[in-house]
Structures are given as structure tokens and as C-alpha cells.
Amino acid sequence: MSETRIIGKPMPMTDGRAKVTGRGKYADDLAVPGMLWGRILHSPHAHARIVLVDSSRAEALEGVKAVAIGRDAPVPYGILPVGHDERVFALDKVRYIGDNVAAVAATSPEIADEALRLVRVEYGPLPAWFDPLEAMEAETDWIHDTKPHNIEKEYHHEFGDVEAGFAAAAFVLEDRYRCGEVTHAAMEPHSTLAVWEPDERLTVYSSTQVPFYLHRTLSAVCEMPMSRIRVVKPLVGGGFGGKSEIIPLEVAASVLAKKTHRPVKITYTREEVFYAHRGRPITIVDLKTGITSDGRITAVQARIVQDGGAYCGYGPVTVLYSGQLLGAIYAIPNVRFDGYRVLTNKPACGAMRGHGTVNARFAFESILDQLAARAGLDPIELRRRNLLRAPCVTPNGLRVTSYGLPECIDRVAERSGWSEKRGKLPPGRGIGFACSHYVSGAANPILRSNMPHTTVHIKIDRDGAVVVYSGASEIGQGSDTMHVQIVAEVLGVRPERVELVAADTGLTPVDLGSYSSRVTFMAGNACLAAARNMRDRIVRAVAGEFGCDPQDLETRDEEVFSAKNPSARMGFDEAVALAIAETGALVASGAYAPPEEARGGKFKGAGVGPSPAYSYSAQTAEVAIDRETGQVKVERIVAAHDCGRALNPLAVDGQVQGSIYMGMGQAVQEEMLWREGRLMNPSLLEYRVPTTLETPEIESLIVESVDPEGPFGAKEAGEGSLAAAIPAIANAIYDAVGVRITDVPFTPERVLAAIRAKEQAEKGSSR
């Protein structure tokens, strides 16, 4: 495919009009006759035994149709097979303030709320653990009996000879980096409408990133075969990982629908969203890194502790990624990683954009700058001296098939004016640099099987509509548009001809979901295969008619034609009719599974493996520091992102900007503040995501390394740019005011304190 018509061209999102006109339907917009309102009763205790739950008074309230408690749905579940430690309603004890105890379905939300007040629960409070370092030393009152010392999961990996590496280093630095907890803050709160169908099936409309895993979980918890349950994903108003696990309201609504034989809708309040969040955990990174005098990394040692909250969730993956993905970006010959996922009596953390990599990358890109300063090297030059020689397999087993990082670095350096600015900006102003990367999906599915990760079917009938059935979940990232582009390109038709049916387990083949930036790479490849198979059928029929070789036919601009014979030319509708006459409405299929060699790596056992392809990003951030207040103002970010190939540059630009915006929010202002297990800022007024006023100019540069296995060469674009923003800002602060901030976020208090301390130290040393 030498020249493309649709791929690589900016295309507005296919669901854009529905969203901006307000006519699109999100889960909470849905309503059906006879629908009940569900509400959930949450624990006021961080850690307590449940002595008694008495729902009789609530059940007696007029308008209450059902109250569900622990024994109504006792099957435990969790997103990972190794972590089925949650129940929709606590059975034996509650483990965080906000834990789910019961739910009510009633004829109005007001009655449901009133009923919650009538559910009587007796608790037996227990000592609670809030600090991960303390929790992992605990000898008693473990949060889960099966997890001694509250350690959910630990990893200990070593590749190469780390001690020898440090011995060979000219400079070795060691530091501790701390990151606060952040959350996704998606605009759309979680919402689920569960409909009990007249034929005793259950249809669940939910704001989810993972319809397929929800489908499986509901089957288990509701004790119904999957073939009797249908999960439909309506429009989703942002996920960012916060909708990539099973959220208690999804199960609660379903259990209540099954119990009442009525439709039940539950929508979280914003406060509930904060408590249910599954965001990025508090992380403590103890990092040691050595380089030679000419700047080559000799060894890396990281000890990472994550404050996981009360349940497993994605935790083992989060901590695994934080060590595993130290690799695949620079050449690191020797690496040791000790990772701990620790349980505490707070809501469970989970996957958030840049899952696992962000806080470790902050530490790593900070220490590189610290080492560059020590060695007297330009920070960019230091990175250049540690590039991989791709394609390659890293010492820790990651397979790098395409590697646009060198070009990303070059373009950012040039575009940002790096050499004119670093160390040369006016007082209080600085520029910093950092790199990051991310996976293009996990090479192993969460539930191990040898089935493909995604399948796409395409149907064309005599109406000429190209109907694409894909399980992939549009969550705002452009998944739907990507499918339409690929199919229109391959078949040579207008995108308007393509109709996508997506993310409906009743109608579409399975796709594992929108997580780990897997959709473009995996669903895109399945879609491409299906489109090519469909094209083959049509082209063969036309070749038969013209008596020519199918290889000579092209499909473009709604025609099938021979490049060799101008008279051999047929409109798409006619070509379809010809092909249909042979066997009926056309259907073609495509599937994708990562190649075997991408799967295993050296990190087996966590339920996910490394990735078939990695994206890369290089960034500069420019900041202005108010030396009187410590306020950090991010003024400009230039980012180059290697997405393999930009199927839709408009979408890639949007994803890069969004990632950086989110990284910047974590860097300078976002943090979930806890006091004894209670969230101090559970609202969007208090948990401060940046507004447009705080968002700097972001310039994104697209780098296309054309991955050999990606669809049209494409790989990840939605997460990889996030992680670099935080250290780039930290490094810029250092350039501006000479202080190294190791605690995220870089609040005015912290920056000011560091400036004051530096001034004190300078005063002391000058004295």
C-alpha cells in the first residue's frame, strides 16, 4: 500500500458530533420503563468486622424493591486471576472507608437513600493500616488473612551483575523519590444500567473500558452462563484506567436487577467516584544508578513500594510494570528490582494512564539529570549515549521492534531551542528534558489462553454498507474512528459507508478491552486482517468478471479497477453484488494474537507480559518559578512521540496533549490527601485537575518509526507521553532555581522549602 487515502490523514472522531451536540448517550443518560434507582451503602470504618447486617427495616420501606447484602452475591472476584479478593458487598469485614456493605433498589433515588439509612450494620472496629511502610511491617490485624504482613505481591528480579556494574561506574547516585496518589478524574462518573430481560437474560449497559472482563465477572457473580448476559458499552466519558476493572456498582446493579427482575440503574456520586477510583498509588522509589565517566549506564537498582489500598485489583501488574519497564528505553546492562505491593486500609489503587511506569520513570529521569550534573554532561547527551540499538531484546527480555526515540530526542532538542535555553534562561526560568515510553498492549491476556486477543468481523450486504463488528471499546481515544479508517482504506470506500458496531458482547466478537494502550495495535491488526480478507473476496469476484489476475486490481475511491487496463473498472456496489451472488452476504474475519516471541519475556507469572511494541516520547518543559511563593508555572512543553505511524494525526495529537496535560497535573497540583483512611478532597473543587488556564502551550511532534508488526506500522499513542512530563518539569525546576524536588507533586510549599533550604545552605557555605 504505497499511497494511502484515509490512513495518515486527519479525520474527526466518528462520535464527535454526537458528543458535542449532547445527543450521544452515556450510561447515565439511559432510561427504560420500570427502571429502579440503586444506591450503595458504604462503610464508615477503615477496618472492621461486620457483626450484623439487618436490612429488614429498609425492605419494609414503601418503594424499596430489594436490598442486597453480602450473602446475596458471595462469589469473590477481581480483575486478575491471582486476586479474587473482592466481593461486591463485604461479607466478613470492611477494609476501607467507603467499602461496600449493601445496596438498595427503589422506585426513586430519594427512597433508595432513605432506605440506606434504615439498613442497620454493626461493626467491630479493628486497628487499621494507612502507611505502606508501616503496613508491611505489621505482625497482626492483617487486612487479608491470606496476605502476611499486608504484602499483596513482591517481585525480586536481577539481570546481569549489578554489583559489578556499580563497581565499574565512575559516578553512582542513590536517592528516594516519593509520589502522591492521583486519580483519573474522568468527566463521566461511573454508571451502570442493568436490565433483566423478559427472557431471563441480563443486559448491562456500563461505563466500562473492559466489557469482556465485566461479562465474565457478572457470569461468575450472578451465577449465570455468559451466553445469558450481554454487556454493552455506551459512550464513555473518559476512562484513563479508572474503568478498566470491575467496579462495585456494575455488580451491584446486576445483582439487584436479577433479584428484582427489574431494570436497575446506579450512578456514582462524584464522592463515590473518588472512593472507587483505582488510580495511581502512593509510590516510594529508592533508586541507585551508576554511569561511567563518559555517561554510560552501568547498573540500576530500584526498590519500589506501592501503597495499594485494601484490595488486589491490578496491583501486581502495577508493581511489575514499574520494574519491568525500567527496560526497553535505554541500554541497561545490569538491573536489580525489588518491588512490593502493600495493602493498606484505603480504597484500592489500580491502573491509571501510564500504568506502572509513571512514578518509576519520574525517579529514573530525575536521577539521570542528577548524574549528568555530576558528570558535567548535557542531560540530552547523556540519554543519547545510552540508546538501544534496535531491533533488539533487552537484558530483561523486552523485544524492541521499532525505536523512534533517537529521532524524538533530536526533534525535541531542535524544536525547543534546547541548546540556546538550558542554563541560559533568565532567573527563575528553566528548561528540563526527559524521555518516556509505553507498551502497545500486553502480550499476554489477563486470563491466559491461546485464543486471539481480539477478533473483528466485517459484513457487507447488498445495501453496500460495510458493517464492522468489533469488541473494542471507544473511551474517547478514537478506537471507533480507527476501525472506520482502516476498513475504508483497505476497501477503498468512503468512511461514511462504514458502520461500526462495537463493544457489545451480544453482537461483537471479543476484544479484551481498552487498557495498556492495546487497541490500535491489536484491534487495529485484527481489523486490518478482516478488511484484507473482505477485500480479497470482492477483488476475486471482480477479477473473475474481468478475466484478470486479482493481484492487478486496486480498490480506491469507491471503485475496483485494474491499473493495467483502464476499461476494467467497476463501482464498489456492483462489485459487492457480484461477490454476494456467489455465496450470500459477505462476511470476513480477522484476529490478532501477539507473536509467541513477544509473550514470555523473563517476567512470567503476573498475568500480563511485556508488549509486542513500544512507543517512545521525548519532551522538554519550560517553567517559571515564583521565588516568593514557590509556585511552579509550566509555560511550554514540546513533545515528540513515536507512535509508529499516525493513523489519524488529529487523534495522536489529541492523545499526546491529553497525556502531557495529565502528567503536568500530577507534577504540580494533583494529589489525593488522606487522613486516617478518609479522603480530604473528594470533589473536583478540592482535587484540583488543571483547567485550561493552568495548561501550558503543548506542541506535539509526531515521529513515525513504522513498526513492522503494527497496523500500517502504528503503535501506542495514548499513554506514553505522560510519564516524561513529570521529570521534565522536575528537571526544569532544577534548571530554573537549582533545587531538586523528589516529591510529587511539586507544590509551592515543597519548592519554596527547597529554595529556602538551598539559600540557607549557600548562606551557610558562603559564611
Task: Report the residue from 7, 325, 466, 689 that binds its own copies according to the rule CB under 8 A.
Answer: 466
CB of 197 to its own copies, least distance (A): 8
Query: Which of 558, 563, 555, 548 is closest to 532 using CA atoms?
Result: 555
CB of 296 to its own copies, least distance (A): 44
Which one of the spans 10-18, 116-124, 153-161, 547-555 is the region binding its own copies (CB under 8 A)?
A: 10-18
* One character per residue 34-73, x = contact with its own copies (rule: CB under 8 A): x---------------------------------------
Q: How far is CA 514 from CA 37, 442, 533, 691, 748, in A?
A: 28, 11, 25, 26, 36
Grid coordinates in use for 228?
445469558
Which one of the spans 18-26, 58-66, 621-629, 693-701 is the region binding its own copies (CB under 8 A)?
A: 18-26
CB of 207 to its own copies, least distance (A): 19
Contact predicate 607/556, CB 8 Å: no
Which one of the spans 21-29, 330-338, 600-608, 728-736 is the region binding its own copies (CB under 8 A)?
A: 21-29
Q: Quote the longest CA-to-CA distance of the chain.
A: 94
Task: Report the residue from 78, 509, 658, 690 that binds its own copies according to the rule CB under 8 A.
Answer: 509
Gap between the Cα atoms of 621 and 611, Å rounded: 28
Our measurement of the distance from residue 247's CA atom to the centroid of its chain's CA atoms, rounded to an integer in Å, reads 15
Task: Report the residue from 372, 467, 598, 730 that binds its own copies according to the rule CB under 8 A.
Answer: 467
Task: Tell me whether residue 455 or residue 617 sits nearer to its own copies (CB atom).
Answer: 455
Asked if residue 15 binds its own copies (CB under 8 A), the reply is yes
CB of 87 to its own copies, least distance (A): 23
Grid coordinates in use for 388?
538501544
Going by DSSP bridges, is the β-strand pair 282-291/297-309 parallel, antiparallel, or unpaired?
antiparallel
Task: Report the residue from 39, 47, 215, 361 that binds its own copies according to the rule CB under 8 A.
Answer: 215
Residues 524-543 interacting with its own copies (rule: CB under 8 A): 526
Asked if residue 590 binds its own copies (CB under 8 A), the reply is yes
Asked if residue 448 binds its own copies (CB under 8 A), the reply is no
Gap between the Cα atoms of 298 and 334, Å rounded: 7
Task: Tell me whether residue 227 or residue 269 sits nearer to its own copies (CB atom).
Answer: 227
Grid coordinates in use for 231?
454487556
Asked if residue 584 binds its own copies (CB under 8 A), the reply is yes
Task: Report the residue from 122, 294, 463, 697 that binds its own copies according to the rule CB under 8 A.
Answer: 463
Q: How far is CA 291 from CA 304, 329, 366, in A?
A: 21, 16, 14
Burial 22-55 (b: 16+ CB within 10 A, else e): eeeebbbebeeeebbbbbbbbbebbbbebeebeb
Task: Tell me whether residue 25 or residue 117 sits nearer to its own copies (CB atom).
Answer: 25
- Beta-carbon count within 10 A of 426 CB: 8
Question: How many chain residues are in contact with its own copies, going by CB under 8 A?
Answer: 58
CB of 440 to its own copies, least distance (A): 19
Which one of the spans 314-322, 351-359, 501-509, 688-696 is the region binding its own copies (CB under 8 A)?
A: 501-509
Asked if residue 499 binds its own copies (CB under 8 A), the reply is yes
Gap between the Cα atoms of 551 and 561, Å rounded: 11
Asked if residue 423 binds its own copies (CB under 8 A), the reply is no
Task: Report the residue from 113, 127, 148, 227 that binds its own copies according to the rule CB under 8 A.
Answer: 227
Task: Report the residue from 113, 163, 200, 414 that binds its own copies according to the rule CB under 8 A.
Answer: 200
Task: Report the residue from 455, 514, 562, 615 that binds its own copies according to the rule CB under 8 A.
Answer: 455
Residues listed for the chain: 767
Which one of the spans 492-500, 635-643, 697-705, 725-733 is the region binding its own copies (CB under 8 A)?
A: 492-500
Task: Report the residue from 373, 375, 392, 587 that binds its own copies according to the rule CB under 8 A.
Answer: 587
Task: Give 11-67 as a 3 state SS string.
Answer: CCCCCHHHHHCCCCCEHHHCCCCCCEEEEEEECCCCCEEEEEEECHHHHHCCCEEEE
Decide: helix, strand or coil at residue 369: helix
CB of 218 to its own copies, least distance (A): 11
Asked if residue 14 binds its own copies (CB under 8 A), the reply is yes
Asked if residue 464 binds its own copies (CB under 8 A), the reply is yes
Asked if residue 265 binds its own copies (CB under 8 A), the reply is no
Asked if residue 548 binds its own copies (CB under 8 A), the reply is no
Task: Give 696-746 as a 3 state SS string.
Answer: CEEEEEEECCCCCCCHHHCCCCCCCCHHHHHHHHHHHHHHHHCCCCCEECC
Gap between the Cα atoms of 448 and 438, Å rounded: 22
Task: Tell me whether residue 432 or residue 471 sits nearer to its own copies (CB atom).
Answer: 471
Asked if residue 226 binds its own copies (CB under 8 A), the reply is yes
Side-chain-side CA neighbours of 433 within 13 Å: the count stands at 28
Peptide bond into 690 cis (omega under 30): no
Decide: helix, strand or coil at residue 4: coil
Asked if residue 629 binds its own copies (CB under 8 A), the reply is no
Q: Helix axis angle, 524-546 relative to 479-491, nearest 10°?
A: 20
Asked if residue 559 binds its own copies (CB under 8 A), the reply is no
CB of 447 to its own copies, least distance (A): 9
Task: Report the residue from 156, 374, 462, 604 that binds its own copies according to the rule CB under 8 A.
Answer: 462
The type of residue at 241 is G
Asked if residue 506 binds its own copies (CB under 8 A), the reply is yes
Asked if residue 507 binds its own copies (CB under 8 A), the reply is yes
Burial 645-672 (b: 16+ CB within 10 A, else e): bbbbbebbbbbbbbbbbbbbbbbbbbbb
CA angle, residues 592, 598, 600, in degrees to nearest 5: 115
DSSP codes of every residue in 635-659: EEEEEEEE-SS-SSHHHHHHHHHHH
> Given the rule CB under 8 A, which residues bind its own copies?
14-15, 17-18, 21, 23-24, 34, 197-201, 215-216, 219, 225-228, 230, 449-452, 454-455, 457, 459, 461-467, 469, 496-497, 499, 501, 505-507, 509-510, 526, 577, 580-581, 583-585, 587, 589-592
